[in-house]
Structures are given as structure tokens and as C-alpha cells.
Amino acid sequence: APTVTVVSGRLGWPHCMPFIATEMKLWEKYGLSVDHRDLGNGSAAAEAMASGSASFGYINVPNAVTLLQVGLPIKILAATTIGGTSVYTFSEAIKSVADLKGKKVAIPRGVTTHALQFEMYVLPQAGLSKADVEIVPLAPTDNLTAMRRGDVDAAVSFDPYVSQAVALGAKVIVPPNKMWDGPAYSAVVAARADFVAKEPETVRKLVQVHCEVIKFINEDPKKAAEIVNKLLRGTEKDLALQLDSMRSLTFTAKIEPAAVARFADAMVKFGLIKSAPDLGPVVDTSFLPKDVM
Amino acid sequence: MAGVTLSNVSKSFPKPDGKGTFVALSPTDIEVKEGEFVCILGPSGCGKTTLLNIVAGFETPTTGTVLVGGKPVRKPGPERGYVFQEYALFPWMTIIENVAFGLRNLGVSGAEAATKARDYLKLVGLSGFEQSYPNRLSGGMKQRVAIARALAPGPDILLLDEPFAALDAQTRYLMQIELLRIQREARKTTILITHSLEEAIVLADRVIVLSARPGRIKLIETIDHPHTRNPNDPSMTELRYRLFQAIADEIAPVGAAA
Amino acid sequence: MAGVTLSNVSKSFPKPDGKGTFVALSPTDIEVKEGEFVCILGPSGCGKTTLLNIVAGFETPTTGTVLVGGKPVRKPGPERGYVFQEYALFPWMTIIENVAFGLRNLGVSGAEAATKARDYLKLVGLSGFEQSYPNRLSGGMKQRVAIARALAPGPDILLLDEPFAALDAQTRYLMQIELLRIQREARKTTILITHSLEEAIVLADRVIVLSARPGRIKLIETIDHPHTRNPNDPSMTELRYRLFQAIADEIAPVGAAA
Amino acid sequence: MSLASFETRRAADGGPAKETAVKLFLNFLARPLRHLWLLAAVIIVWHVVAISEIYPPFLLPAPSAVVQSLIEMTRSGYLIDNIGISLGRQMTGFALSVAFALPVGVLLGYSRAFREPVQPILQLLYPIPGLAWVPLAILWFGIGVESIIFVIFFSSIWPLLFNTQAGITSINPIYRRAAMALGTSQWRTFTRVIVPAALPFILAGLRLTYGTSWRVIVGAEILSARSGLGFMIDNARGLLRGEEVIAGMITIALLGYLFEKFAFDFLERVTIKKWGMSL
Amino acid sequence: MSLASFETRRAADGGPAKETAVKLFLNFLARPLRHLWLLAAVIIVWHVVAISEIYPPFLLPAPSAVVQSLIEMTRSGYLIDNIGISLGRQMTGFALSVAFALPVGVLLGYSRAFREPVQPILQLLYPIPGLAWVPLAILWFGIGVESIIFVIFFSSIWPLLFNTQAGITSINPIYRRAAMALGTSQWRTFTRVIVPAALPFILAGLRLTYGTSWRVIVGAEILSARSGLGFMIDNARGLLRGEEVIAGMITIALLGYLFEKFAFDFLERVTIKKWGMSL
Ligand SMILES: Nc1ncnc2c1ncn2[C@@H]1O[C@H](COP(=O)(O)OP(=O)(O)OP(=O)(O)O)[C@@H](O)[C@H]1O
Ligand SMILES: Nc1ncnc2c1ncn2[C@@H]1O[C@H](COP(=O)(O)OP(=O)(O)OP(=O)(O)O)[C@@H](O)[C@H]1O
Ligand SMILES: [Mg+2]
Ligand SMILES: [Mg+2]
């Protein structure tokens, strides 16, 4: 079979499946020849799919919606993880979201679910609006430094950065399950529509591998964490961190079209896109094994 | 083999202040016959180098044309050997590489070019300095390398801008004799700029004196006297005086110059 | 005001091939008295410029010491005016800025320096070129600017390396006269390198002839004859011959040089 | 390009004086043509490739779409605001780079006592990627504009620094000798001899440093900024708005180019070109 | 640094010949000291600041921790692997840069017919940030090593390109005249006259281009690589391993420095320094 290029973001739990599949030689098990590439950021993954460098990939929901919105037909085939995003702080004075009024909050830069969750859901829940806090786009790796210096008061982030911070004494003021109304997909499995049409069998196998990895993670999280930790060259300490991180996430391939559509609507309200693409025919769950749906 | 014909050649440069131009060389006609040795004399800054540069093809004349061997000059070429007033040795080549360079350009093999270059270095008294770089040489030594470099490829026409100015009288004399021998043997058409009346008298078939800036031909003297000449020969006294006077007239008394 | 004393001064340079050194100047003792005018003659490459560079403080002697006004020379200074064999004008300054530069260094006001510079430019016959940049000048014009630049700040000691080599005979003569006047009036200690016997005879209180490389003192001639001298004066014939012969002995026949 | 087309300094000075007004006028028209035909050709090729839709238009939009985006963003004020903000950061970074690199470069070339201990440190620092400094920049300067300027500064000092040094070591020693023999003070030797003599190198270094200060703006502004051309490009990229990405690139290209033309070409014309130290 | 400490070419040549063996030996010992005392001082200050724990050690680890990390990573082979991978990418990018920038720079300086249309395009491209090209690089070259090399190439051509051009326009026209009067072919004029005459500029440009090819490695490798020093730094940053970040920086610094010393210093010594075109 011809080699399929699979793209993903950097190694983290939402994008871990192709890494683990490669590590466990699951592609081969399904007779696939896969060239997995992980890219530095979400935009690059979207661009890779748009340019045809890759036909199948793990991308963030906003990237998927944007691809559709600019006119690239893709199919969203499965979910990866749900949750993972938290708001945390080192400040004694901040006990709840309401205390963030007038404060500086770091948010991962770029078009991400994290910003949407925080600004479109978390703040309104606490009776605040976007204007009430000062948003600072920052790489999650720099949060700790910025907070130590007092440059920001709180951060919206994901794991392992949240767990890292908690290990250093931060407290979570909004846990993952309070970040969104319904399932907040950290990333989805998507493919170019033409690829899906042309090679449905390959796509089916790719999705099967994905599901098998998720099953493996749910059955043996410790083993999964060890694989990821090894790939990241983590230490024992880091392994504990990885296991912590897993607790804030739900690993599932199951995807609800309506939940994806809610993100698209949020993006419109947020002003990122002008109109939401019709997600009805886009979210295609037909490739998922029966036991997942 | 070829003569050099300048018809109505002049040159203007922009003025220092950038407004307008000033004439460095007035329209000039000169015909140098094949195998002739012409010396050009003239006060400092009168346009001698400019004239030679035009013949070499380094500068385009503002008016007029230059023919070399009947063909108009468009650009410099290896049939016209040039010794620059500032020597213009290539600092990145050893002395022998400098001298061999023109030969190599003509397709002469490396070994042969080196042998020939060595001969020319011997001729100018610089054996033993083959592997030196130019920045290690004294002024007069550089000048002699420049002469060797121009002569080595055997050009038909020699254009020499004060080639012996940095040499002591004796070395100069020896070099003059050698130049003359080479020029006679191969009937090379030669234009040589000098400030030395004696040099002109020893070497030239014809001496041209230019006036002060803007240069124009002030005097032409043909010298029929056979070689080797002695500039102090009494029969030369009158010629010498005429040349001297022609230039002296052009020099404003110092302190009262334009 | 000061004399110049060289004791046991010599200079070696690395050989071209980098192995070992060769002697450019043999150990030399010279004493130039305050206000004295010394001319140095010698074959090309014999170490004249090297010697002058050591007096100027540009180079450290391999052996020996140089005293100027009784104090050892450590580095160059404005009390020693220098005319470089290669002129060394600053291309980024206009002619007048070049000449005024040394004056401004001494704290002379801009207006005063400009006036003085203009005077010196007039002296060397370059009025009208004040605003030109050096790249616009002919070789001889550059050399005259270099002379004006060295003279303008009024140094006590003049070190001149073939300062008139690029000038026509008449301009050269006029410049010699002016130099002599300035030197006499202010009793400037002067060392001048030249290749012209006539120049040495016209100018010098004492003439030193160096031997071929490695240079050492071959002949010293004191000239008592009052100024203004005529080099063709019969009373000079014998001196002239002695100088000529001293240099001629040093020049190997061309083509057979070391 | 033949040897004959090779400009020589003197030839350029006194070309034939007989140019008629007509000729001059034709020349005047021909000039931009001679300079811009290739650029025009590139744009046409771009246009043809873009409208053929070999590539998705949101990755490679047509020139017209880019122009339209430029017009819209200008009208809304978004572009002008971001230009102002980035220009401020870039110019501050550039000015600091010059203020640091020029004197340090001069000292490196000039003084052995300075060069010997300082040069190894600079040569070690030089290859280290600007982005690798980001964590430390945030540690030292926080997430404000200071860090952005630090990254710009630290990335753009090098060409001017090392070119200045190279320029100074390449100065013909005779100029220093002449300066010394004329009793020039150290300060005047710096300003009136060393710097002008090294000016061809310094100006080339200035151009490079200026360009670099723009080149790193994306990397610097994604550090923590929500404004500026770098942010604008990154943001547009995230939204797959190719025309905005390219509009941002063109804006930076033009800003760089105009300064290059007006400041540096001018500087060169009134210095090294006038002095005959460069064609 | 006084004027007296100012090396002059000739003075350096023939210093007093009376140096004793003892003196030479002392000099031999003093040399590294003269060069390294400041570096040593910087490391000591770093050490003192680090052990004072003003900053958390994962942000500013002590030198000893960095050295330990270097040793460990070397032992495990991780560092060597990444060095090999990055070196391959960087050297490929550098080689391509040189192959492009040197001839194009020469032509820019040399031929007006070439310069007039090409220069505006290059001057427009130059200020555009390398990272802004990433979307187009992915479009054209995909997500493999080609894109990484493209970003390195496109970022590092400029210093060599513009320095070469500046070098060529700064050549004293008399050398070209001499070449022409000696009947030099175009090719030989390029190789034997133009390039050596512009060499002080070209070598400075080579150094800068070489350094730049390292400087962009982090930006280029986070594009699409799971290996290399740039990735290693970025990855260590994510794991809050300050000592690994700094170990990566030091590795790049040393790689850059060693090449600088051995290749470029050597090149300079056997060319422009030997010829007296640079001190
Ligand atoms: N920097 C240097 N390195 C090596 N050798 C040098 C250096 N400078 C001069 N020399 C050598 O020293 C000798 C004397 O040189 P110098 O310039 O003093 O001669 P000169 O008497 O001034 O000659 P000229 O009349 O030709 O100017 C020459 O053989 C020259 O090659
Ligand atoms: N590139 C130039 N730009 C402007 N003026 C120039 C240029 N080259 C020469 N000149 C001027 O043209 C005149 C003649 O210069 P040229 O070099 O031909 O003189 P020359 O007769 O060779 O003098 P010398 O004997 O001093 O070498 C001078 O006034 C000089 O200033
Ligand atoms: Mg001349
Ligand atoms: Mg000399």
C-alpha cells in the first residue's frame, strides 16, 4: 500500500495517538504504511493538510473549522480527548474567576479552543466579559516565568503545564470539567474529503488504529504514560506528571456533531470567522467501529 | 602591430562642486606610427594620464575617436600593455603570479609562464622576490614589477605612465636601455609619459609637450639622433632648452597659481 | 626644535617564504642636527623608507634607538611632519579638509585652519581644487596636497619620502625653492629621500648615500655651498660625480641582479 | 553582462555631453522600466499560478486579493495601527543595535586589549538562536515590549558588529599612520579616520542590521504581543487568511525597502560614493 | 586601548628578535589567559547568581548542572545524534546559501543589467521575516526536511549576498582596469580578480551567513522536526529543563565557534591577512 502521511501537533495527550501507534507498530498490524510527522503548531498542521502534504491528521477543532470555512473540504472522523484545559494561579488573592477582574491572564497564543473556552464560557459564567480581564497571549512554557515575575496573575493552560504548575504550588481555580458546556474536544481526527472518497478502506484502518490506541490508553494508562514519557525523554518525576495529566482528560474517539458545531458558533461570536460552515455532512462517524459509537 | 590615431579627442570632468564640467583635455589630434616611440611631457595635472587612459580604453573621450591599428578603441585589450602611475599590482598574487598573470591569460602553460615571468623579474632586478606579496615591497620595487607585468605578455603597444618615476637614476637608466631594446627589437608602438626631459631625449622618436590644464598640444619635437643617446650631448642642448622652455612657460609662479 | 639621532638602528623583516628574517637596514648611526637638511639617496629597495618610518615612529627598529630632541621615539607625533611615498591622503576629506586636518588637531579654529590651508594649497599651486576629493586629482596633484598637509601644522621636523617624484621638472623646482625657504626660515630639521642627485645638491646641507639592500651608509657628503645652488654649477661637478658613482657601484647590471 | 557593461568610476563621470532633451526624456521613462520589469514578471507569474488554483487560494491568493486585503485593512485602520506599533519596536531595537554594535565593533577592530577577552564571548553568543533566548528574556525583561525589543536587539546586532570589526581590520594602515603623524587625538581618529575609512563595511553592516531587525519581528512579536505586523501575520495564519499573511509580508517588504532606498542609499551617495570609495 | 596598542601591519612583522625561550614560554601561558579571563568571569557570575537561587533553578540552572546535563546527554548518545542531525541540516542550508549568495552577489555588484531588475526584488524579499514564509514553504516543499532547509537558506543568504555586492562595488576600479589591460577572460576576472579583491567583504559575509544558519535552527526545527538541537531546546523548554535548554544553547555556541575558529580564521589567515589586506 502507498505510504500515508499523518500529521499531528506536538506530543501531548490530545495528539498522542499516532505516536503511540508508531511506537507499538499498530499501523503495520493493520497493513498500513504510515509516515507520521508532528508539527510545531496547529497552523502548520492545517497548512499541511490544505497543501496536500498530508491527507490525514490530528488537528485542533478551530483549525478544522477554519479549514472548512476557507473552503477546504475535510471530514472530521473522530475525537481524541476531551477536557484538559484549566485556569490556575499562584496568587493567594485569586480564589475564583470573579477575582480575575482587572487582572492579567495568560492564554496560549494562536487560534485555540483554550481561548474560546475561557472567553466565551468561563468568563460569562462568572458574570465577567472579555473587557474585564487583560488577555496576554503567551506560550504555555513561559507562564511560570511570567507569573513569578508578576507579569500575569493567572493562566489558562493545558497539561502537562497545569500539572507542572500545580506541582510547584499553583492552584486550579477552574478545573477541566468547568471549562465548557458539554464535551470540549482538545483535538479531532480529520481527513481531506477527497482522500476519504478515494480511499475509504485506508481511512477506515487509520481510524481503527486510532480507536485501538484509545482503548489501550484507557485500559493501561500507566503503560501509555510510560511510552509518552519515554518519547519525551522524561524522568520518573515526569512520569508522575504525565499520569496526573491523564486524569484531567477523557480519552474517547466518540464525537458529537452538535458539540463541534457549538465551537463553530462560538468562533463566529468570537469574531474569528464570519459564518459557521455547515458541519452536518462534515462530521462523519461512519468510520468508527460499532463499539465506539 | 599597429599605430595609434587620436582625432579630436577631448575629455571633460564634472566640476568639484558638481555644477557643470571642466575640460581636462582639449581636443587633440595625435598620430603615433607603428613602431614609433612617443614621449609625452607636460605640467602636473595637464591631462597626460587622461589621454593615456583614453588610448587604453579605460575612459571614453567626451569628443573624438581613437583608432588603434585602424580600429576604434572600445575597451582595453591585451595588445596594449599598460603601466599604471599607481602600479596597480594585485595584492593577492605573489610577484611572480602578478607577472605571469597576463601570460596565463593568453593560454601560456603554467610552467612556461613562470619561466618567462622569472626572466622578466630578472630583467627588472627582482630575482629572489618571486614569492613575495606586493605589500612587502618598496615603492620602486613595486614599480618594476608593474613594468615586468606589462611587458611579459609581449603587447604590440606599450602605454607607460611615468614608469620610472620611483627609481634611482642608475636603475632608471638601466631600465630605459632595456625598454628601448625591447621596443626596437619588436617594433612596439610606445607612448610614455614622463617628467624627465632627459628620459624623453634618451628614448623618444618624438616628444609631445602638453600645455597646462586643459591640456592641448603645445610643442612637437622629432628626434632623429640615433640611439644610444646621451641627454647631455651638446647636440641636444638646443632641443633640451626648447622642451624646457615649453613647459616652463606653462607653470605659473608658485603662490600665484590659478 | 630638535635634532634626530639614530644609534645602531637596524631593521629585519621576515623572508617571503616565512622562514627566518632578512636584513632590510644594517645597523646605522646618523646624527641630524637641529635645523639641518639631510638628503638620503640610495638604490631602489635599499631601506630608505624603512629608515624614515623608524624615525617617524611607524616602525620599531629591530636593534638600536632613535632620539628626537634627546627623547626616545615611541610613536608618531605631530612635531614630525611626514610626506608618504604613496601620499596617504584621506579619500573621505576634501583637499582643503585634508590640509586643514592637522591644524584642527592642534586646536586651531575652523576658520583659521581653512585660511591657512588655503594658503598652503596656493603655495603648491592647487587653488581652485579646495572642494575636490582626492580621487579626482592627478598623481602630481595628490602629491602636492600631501606636501601641503604635512607643512600646514608647522612641524619642527620634516620627514619627506620622495615628495617631488611625481612632479614635472619646473613645478618640482618651484616646490624645492619653497620648501627650502620654509625650512630655513623656521630652522626645521629635515630628512628628505630622493632619487634625484640634482635635488639633493640643491637642497641638502648633507647628503647620505645608502648601499644596496641591506642598506648601510656608503657615503656622506657635506655641502657648504650657499643657497640658492645650481646643480649644474661647475663647482658641483665633482660632488655630483662622487654621488653618482657611489650609487652606480651599488646597482648590479640589469639581468644579472641577485 | 559583459566586461564592457562593467561601470568604471571615471567613465561614469564624464559621459558624452551631447545628450539631447529627447534622449534624456526617453531615459527618464526607461529607468523605472529597466528596474521593474522583472518584478512585474514575477507578479504576473504569481497571478497566473494563483488563478489557476493549483494551490488552494487561501494559501496562495491572487495578487488582486492581497491588494484588496491591503486596502481593506488600511481603510479600517488595522494596518496603520500595526505598522505604527511594529515600526516603533523595530526602530527601537535597531537604534539600540546600532548604539551597541558600532562602538563595540570599532573597539573589536581597534584594540587588542578589548578584542582578546571580548571576542570569544561574542563569537560564542552569536550562533545561539534568538528564539532560544526567549525564556531568559522573559525572566529578565518580562512579557512586555522590553522582551520583544531584546529579541530584536540581540538578533540584529551581529552584522553591524562583525562588519564594523572587519572594516576596521581592513583599513589600510597608512591612514592610521597619517593620522598619528598629524597628531590626531584618539577621539578624532575614531570619528574622522577609522569610521570613514571603514564606512563601506559599516554601511553594508547597517543595511544588514536594519533588515534583520525586520526579519525577526514575527518571532519577536509572537512572544507576547497582541499587536504589530508580526502578530498580524501569525494571527492571519491561524485563520488561514493567506491574503492577510501576504499583505503583512508585503507591508514589511515595503517598509524595509523604502528605508533602504531613502536612508541608506542616500547615506551611501553622500559618503562613500562621493568619495570614490564605492561605485 | 591607546593608539600605541594599535597594531600596525609592519610593526607586527619584525618585532625585536631577542625573545628568550623563557619569555616565549610565558607568552604561551599568558595567551589563553588574555583571551579567556572575561569568559571565566562571566561563568563565575552566572554560578554565583544561580546558586543564590534568586531565580528558580529550572529557569537559571547553575553551570555545573548544565555541564552535568551535557555529560549525561553525551553519554546517552542523545546529544551526539541531535548534533549530527542539526549539523546536517545547517550545513546543507549553509552550503546552499553560499552557492546562491556568492554568484548572485557577484553579479549584483558586477553587472548593471543584472542588478537593475534583480536588486529591487531582493531588497523587497530581504526584510520579510523567515517565519512568515513557513506557510508557503509548507505549500511548496511539504513538511519534511526540505522546508527546514528552505527556512535556513532563505534566512541566511542575505549577509553574504549583500556583503559580496558591497565588496565588489568597493573594489578599487584600477584592479579591473589592470585585469582588462592584461586581456583577462570574464571567468578569470571573476575568480582571480573580483573575488580576491572583494574577499575582506566576502569573508565577513561568510561568517555572518554561517552564524545565521545556526541562529535560525530553533525556528526552523520547530517547523516539523522531532529531532535536532532546535527541537531539543524546544522540547526541554516544555519539560522545564532549564539545564537542557542551556546545554543546547552552549552546544550550538561551541559548534558555531569551532567552525569560526578553524574554518574562517584559517581562511582569513591564508588569504587577506597574508596578502596584507587585513590586519
Ligand atoms: N613590511 C615589509 N615586510 C617585508 N619586507 C619589507 C617590508 N617593508 C619593506 N620591506 C623590504 O625592505 C627593503 C627596503 O624597503 P624600503 O621600502 O625601505 O626601500 P626604499 O629604499 O624606500 O626603496 P624605494 O626607493 O624603492 O622606495 C625592501 O627589500 C623591501 O622588500
Ligand atoms: N575622475 C576624475 N574626475 C574629475 N576630474 C579628474 C578625474 N581624473 C582626472 N581629473 C582631472 O583632470 C585633470 C588631468 O588629470 P590627469 O590625471 O590626466 O593629469 P596628469 O597630466 O596625468 O598629471 P600628473 O602629471 O600629475 O599625473 C586634473 O585636473 C584632474 O583633477
Ligand atoms: Mg598622471
Ligand atoms: Mg621608499
Decide if D55 and A110 are in contact by the 8 Å CB cutoff. no
If one compares B241 and C158, the residue with the highest pLDDT of the two is: C158
Q: What is the pLDDT of residue C233?
A: 80
Residue E107 lies in a domain: yes
Tell me, yes or no, if E38 comes closer than 8 A to chain C by beta carbon. Answer: no
Mean pLDDT of chain E: 87
Question: Taking Cα atoms as reference points, which of A232, A272, A276 lies closest to residue A258?
Answer: A276
Q: Among the listed ranges A259-273, C58-72, E218-232, which one has the minimum average pLDDT value?
A: E218-232
Q: What is the pLDDT of residue D4?
A: 36
Query: Average pLDDT in the B6-21 region?
Result: 88
Q: What is the pLDDT of residue B252?
A: 61
Q: What is the pLDDT of residue B19?
A: 82
Decide if D278 and E170 are in contact by the 8 Å CB cutoff. yes
d(CA C154, CA C142) in angstroms, rounded, equals 20
**Surface-to-core class of residue B83, CB atoms within 10 Å of its CB (0-12 exposed, 13-18 middle, 19+ buried):** buried
From chain D residues 144-203, the ones with a CB under 8 A of any chain E CB are: 155, 158-159, 162-163, 166, 169-170, 173, 176-177, 180, 186, 189, 200-201, 203
Q: What is the pLDDT of residue E5?
A: 35
CA B215 to ligand 3 center in whole angstroms: 12
| Interval C84-131: pLDDT, tens | 999 999 999 999 999 999 999 999 999 999 999 999 999 999 998 999
Provide the 3-class DSSP secondary structure of residue D21.
Answer: helix
Q: Which long-range contacts (CB under 8 A, 24 or more apart) does E76-83 make?
A: E78/A233, E78/E232, E79/E232, E79/E247, E79/E251, E81/E227, E82/E227, E82/E228, E82/E229, E82/E231, E82/E232, E83/E229, E83/E251, E83/E255
| Interval E50-91: pLDDT, tens | 888 788 888 889 999 999 999 999 999 999 999 999 999 999
CATH of domain B1-79+166-252: 3.40.50.300
Mean pLDDT of chain C: 91
Detail the DSSP E strand segments found in E152-252: none
Tell me, yes or no, if A3 comes closer than 8 A to chain E by beta carbon. Answer: no
Q: What is the pLDDT of residue E205?
A: 97
Q: Which of E8, E9, E10, E277 to mutate to test the pocket of ligand 1 (most atoms within 8 A of CB)?
A: E10
Residues with CB under 5 A from ligand 3 (ion): B 49, 85; C 138-139
Decide if B56 and E177 are in contact by the 8 Å CB cutoff. yes
Q: What is the pLDDT of residue C229?
A: 82
Query: Average pLDDT in the E91-109 region?
Result: 96
DSSP codes of every residue in D126-138? TTS-GGGGHHHHH
Cell numbers linked to B201: 631625449
Residue E202 lies in a domain: yes
Report CA torsion sign: B102, B108, B109, B114: negative
Closest A-chain CA to D243:
A70
Confidence class of residue C1 from pLDDT cuts 50, 70 and 90? low
- Give chain C positions within 8 Å (CB) of B167: 44, 195
> Residue D204 is part of which domain span?
60-275
Largest CA distance in chain A: 59
DSSP A85: -
Instruction: Indicate whether residue B77 lines ligand 1 (CB < 6 A).
Output: no
Q: Which of B49, B58, B86 to mutate to test the pocket of ligand 2 (most atoms within 8 A of CB)?
A: B49
Decide if B165 and C165 are in contact by the 8 Å CB cutoff. yes
Number of domains chain E is built from: 1
Q: Mind telling me how many Å the CA of D38 is from chain E's nearest CA?
A: 5
- Give chain D positions within 8 Å (CB) of E153: none
- The pLDDT profile of chain A, 293 residues, written as one tens digit per residue, is 689 999 998 888 889 999 999 999 999 999 999 999 988 777 888 889 998 889 999 998 999 999 998 888 999 999 999 988 999 999 988 988 999 989 999 998 877 888 888 988 999 988 998 889 998 888 888 888 888 888 899 999 988 888 888 888 899 999 888 888 888 898 999 999 999 999 999 999 999 999 999 999 999 999 999 999 998 888 888 898 888 888 888 999 999 888 888 888 888 888 888 888 888 889 998 998 887 65
Which atom of ligand 2 has the smallest separation from the CA of C168?
25
Residue D36 lies in a domain: no
Instruction: Indicate whether residue C170 lines ligand 2 (CB < 6 A).
Output: no
| Interval D157-182: pLDDT, tens | 999 999 999 999 999 999 999 999 99
Q: Among the listed ranges A151-155, C1-5, D107-111, E105-109, which one has the minimum average pLDDT value?
A: C1-5
Residue D255 lies in a domain: yes
| Interval B56-102: pLDDT, tens | 999 999 999 999 988 999 899 999 999 999 999 999 999 999 999 99
Tell me, yes or no, if A10 comes closer than 8 A to chain E by beta carbon. Answer: yes
Query: Which of E56, E224, E237 lies nearest to residue A141, judging by beta carbons?
Result: E237
Instruction: Indicate whether residue C138 lines ligand 2 (CB < 6 A).
Output: yes
Q: Is the pLDDT of residue B256 over 60?
A: no
Query: Which of C58, C81, C106 lies nearest to residue D177, judging by beta carbons?
Result: C58
Q: Among the listed ranges C163-167, C236-240, E267-271, which one has the minimum average pLDDT value?
A: C236-240
Q: What is the pLDDT of residue B255?
A: 40
Q: Mind telling me how many Å the CA of E16 is from chain D's nearest CA?
A: 19
Decide if C76 and D181 are in contact by the 8 Å CB cutoff. yes
Residue D31 lies in a domain: no
Q: Among the listed ranges B188-202, C208-222, D205-219, E52-66, which one has the minimum average pLDDT value?
A: E52-66
Query: Average pLDDT in the B104-113 region?
Result: 95
Count Cα atoms within 13 angstroms, Cβ side, for A1: 17
Q: What percent of chain E has pLDDT over 90?
A: 62
Instruction: Indicate whether residue E10 lines ligand 1 (CB < 6 A).
Output: yes
Residue C35 · residue C17 · CB < 8 Å: no
Kindly tell me whether chain A and chain C come into contact, counting contact as 3+ Cβ pairs under 8 Å: no
Residue D257 lies in a domain: yes
DSSP B129: -
Residue E77 lies in a domain: yes
Domain at E227, CATH number: 1.10.3720.10
Tell me, yes or no, if B165 comes closer than 8 A to chain C by beta carbon. Answer: yes
CA B23 to ligand 3 center in whole angstroms: 16
Query: Average pLDDT in the D45-55 region?
Result: 90
Cell numbers linked to B120: 622578466
Confidence class of residue D9 from pLDDT cuts 50, 70 and 90? very low
Q: Among the listed ranges A47-61, B242-256, E32-46, which one has the minimum average pLDDT value?
A: B242-256
Q: What is the pLDDT of residue D17?
A: 42
Query: Average pLDDT in the E183-197 region?
Result: 94
CA E77 to chain centre: 26
| Interval C195-232: pLDDT, tens | 999 999 999 999 999 998 888 999 999 998 887 788 77
Q: Is the pLDDT of residue C62 over 80?
A: yes
Q: Mind telling me how many Å the CA of A168 is from chain E's nearest CA?
A: 11
Instruction: Indicate whether residue B124 lines ligand 1 (CB < 6 A).
Output: no
Q: What is the pLDDT of residue B116?
A: 96
Residue D242 lies in a domain: yes
Task: Pick the ligand that lies closest to the CA of residue C48.
Answer: 1
- Give chain D positions within 8 Å (CB) of A139: 134, 223
Q: What is the pLDDT of residue B1?
A: 52
| Interval E229-254: pLDDT, tens | 988 998 888 788 889 999 999 999 99
Q: How far is CA A102 from CA A140, A153, E40, in A?
A: 21, 10, 46
Q: How far is CA E93 from CA D130, E165, E217, in A?
A: 18, 21, 10
Query: Average pLDDT in the B38-49 region?
Result: 94
- Give chain E positions within 8 Å (CB) of B60: none
Q: What is the pLDDT of residue B112?
A: 96
CA B138 to ligand 1 center in whole angstroms: 4
Closest D-chain CA to E116:
D35
Q: What is the pLDDT of residue E224?
A: 67
